[in-house]
Amino acid sequence: MNYFNSRPETSIPISGSNDLFLVHRIFCVGRNYKKHIDEMGYEENDIPFVFFMKPPEAIVTDGQKIAIPDFTNNFQHEAELVIAIGKEGKKIPEENALEHIFGYSVGIDLTCRDIQNEAKKKGRPWTLAKSIPYSAPVSDITPADESGHLNEGNIRLSVNGEIRQNSNLKHMIRSVPKIISNLSQFYTLFPGDIIFTGTPEGVGKLESGDIVFAEIDRLQPLTITIA
């Protein structure tokens, strides 16, 4: 028996090697920095575990150009730490979570904010705001063997040389092990899964021609151009 179709393969370069990391699924955590929750105007006393997904075709590698979708008037950047999963697991206890990490990248969760705001008001899904092609640029993956695990370190994003986001991973509400443990209550995590871990404050609108640079201490940086 043969398959009727093949499927497109999306991959991310691994820093310091010629190998590629084949992307399986993309999970994205929301509301993970207090000051970002404040700037978005969320009024909740508890901090819910909010997450959504993007399709593998959302991946864009370092140095590429990305067009603003023609259905948004407010295309925004969200700089985030990205986890690359290297080992299968379900219901992973926090204390074992780090064993499941292959490495880390810097990513930008590109978001159609106008569509997201409308969706929130009307109780509709965020799919068109978040889960669109080319909405998940990521830097080359640094293996955790080289970077160590990241529970603190500067995270920054600049547009045309002007710093817009400037925070520290230590301000994450849910730590890397907590996120892996939480997600794996619902999903078996597989090698190839990647997880965006939420953005700090300072998100903002991108315009055609912008050059966007994102960096996290000890990781490969990311540059994209907005076409």
Residues lying near Mn ion in the complex (CB under 5 A) are found at 78, 109, 199
CB nearer to Mn ion: give 14 or 110: 110
φ, ψ dihedrals at 107, nearest 5°? -130, 165
Closest CA to 197 of 151, 165, 158, 164: 151
Name the pairing type of β-strands 222-226 and 65-66: parallel
Task: Please report how close the Cβ of residue 5 comes to Mn ion at its closest, in angstroms.
Answer: 31
User: By Cβ distance, which residue is nearest to Mn ion?
Assistant: 109
3-state helix, strand, coil in the chain (%, to 5): 20, 35, 45
Task: Please report how close the Cβ of residue 119 comes to Mn ion at its closest, in angstroms.
Answer: 14
CB nearer to Mn ion: give 20 or 173: 173
How far, in whole angstroms, is CA 117 from its chain's centroid?
19
Task: Please report how close the Cβ of residue 90 comes to Mn ion at its closest, in angstroms.
Answer: 25
CB nearer to Mn ion: give 68 or 203: 203
Task: Please report how close the Cβ of residue 18 comes to Mn ion at its closest, in angstroms.
Answer: 31
DSSP letter, residue 174: S
Task: Please report how close the Cβ of residue 122 comes to Mn ion at its closest, in angstroms.
Answer: 20
CB nearer to Mn ion: give 109 or 140: 109
Q: Find all residues with CB under 8 Å of 58, minimum gap 6, and list them.
A: 26, 131, 132, 133, 134, 135, 136
CB nearer to Mn ion: give 143 or 198: 198
Which residues on neighbouring strands pair with residue 20, listed in sequence order? Answer: 13
Task: Please report how close the Cβ of residue 19 comes to Mn ion at its closest, in angstroms.
Answer: 27
Rounded CA gap, 55 and 25, in Å? 7
CB nearer to Mn ion: give 31 or 100: 31
